[in-house]
Amino acid sequence: MHPEKMKNVLALDAQKRLSYFVHKCTDSEEIWGLRNADGWCGMGTDDGKESIPFWPEEAFAVLLAEDDWADCTPARIPLEAFLMDWLPDMQEDGLLAAIFPLPTSAASGTDCVTLEAEHLRALLQEERENFWGLA
């Protein structure tokens, strides 16, 4: 990724990063998370709930693979699997989606938008309809 693009995207506020996430993931048809030997990495929210962080591109996920998550590596999730399997399972388990947290916010869960899985699914489905004409 071009360093200027990285700098510009990281400078966006949390709501604009959410919009970037939805558009980019719809375009690339992939989502990125972090995994280690124990499974997918999660984080707490400000109100004590559990969430799983997701990014639109591998380069952004790499930024979080340090400190507490130094044993984690970025892992790709196909968009279709994310919509059909991941998000329904997360909704059922009461897990939230932390969208595009920045390196300075990984421990606290701040400066990212945290959504219920069903809400994220609706945003991605709407973008798919607009972008690809797919329902």
How confident is the model at residue 44, as a pLDDT?
83
Q: What is the pTM of this model?
A: 0.89
What domain range is 49 assigned to? 3-133
CATH number for the domain harbouring residue 101: 3.40.1350.90
pLDDT in tens, 44-75: 877 888 999 999 999 999 988 887 788 999 99
Which band of pLDDT confidence, cut at 50, 70 and 90, is reported for residue 135?
A: low
Q: Look at residue 131 and tell me whether its pLDDT is greater than 80.
A: no
Q: Look at residue 104 and tell me whether its pLDDT is greater than 80.
A: no
Q: Is the dihedral of CA 17, 19, 20, 24 positive or negative?
A: positive
How confident is the model at residue 106, as a pLDDT?
47
Q: How many domains does the chain have?
A: 1
Q: In terms of DSSP bridges, do strands 39-40 and 96-99 run parallel, antiparallel, or are they unpaired?
A: unpaired
Instruction: Provide the mean pLDDT of the chain.
Output: 89
Distance CA 4, CA 97 (A): 27
Q: Which residue has the higher pLDDT, 46 or 24?
A: 24
Which band of pLDDT confidence, cut at 50, 70 and 90, is reported for residue 95?
A: very high
How confident is the model at residue 109, as a pLDDT?
43
